[in-house]
């Protein structure tokens, strides 16, 4: 996971310094946001696993902790990238951000309900 994350960050830096957004247009912007998203997912998931395993001492089922950290990484990265894209278009207002947070929280709540129903 760490190796993939480092490769993703190198790809993002490459996109950042080698692709001109004026010349490339929409594909260049899509590549920028996609590489940023993948890099953030890897970083947040890695830090999430480290936090859950080493600080919270949850070591009984490592695959479950990785799955949860990856899910959180994806959702937090979506919030960050969507917020950045809205901000670039001057469309990021507090109600948009609040709606995005509520949407992500509802998805997480759905995952928690499904996991709880599987335990019972």
**pLDDT tens string 24-74:** 889 999 999 999 999 999 999 999 999 988 888 877 778 888 999 999 999
DSSP run (H or E) holding 83? helix 62-88
Q: Is 54 exposed, middle or buried (0-12, 13-18, 19+ CB in 10 A)?
A: exposed
User: Residue 87: pLDDT above 90?
Assistant: yes
Over pLDDT 90: what percentage of the chain?
74
Domain encompassing residue 68: 2-119
Total number of domains constituting the chain: 1
């Amino acid at each position: 996971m760490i190796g993939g994350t480092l490769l993703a960050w190198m790809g993002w830096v490459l996109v950042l310094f080698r692709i001109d957004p004026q010349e490339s247009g929409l594909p260049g912007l899509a590549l920028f946001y996609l590489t940023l998203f993948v890099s953030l997912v890897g970083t947040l998931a890695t830090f999430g696993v480290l936090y859950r395993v080493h600080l919270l001492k949850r070591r009984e089922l490592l695959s479950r902790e990785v799955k949860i950290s990856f899910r959180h990484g994806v959702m937090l990265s979506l919030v960050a990238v969507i917020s950045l894209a809205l901000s670039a278009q001057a469309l990021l207002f507090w109600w948009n951000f609040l709606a995005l947070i509520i949407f992500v929280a509802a998805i997480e709540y759905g995952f928690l309900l499904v996991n709880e129903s599987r335990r019972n």
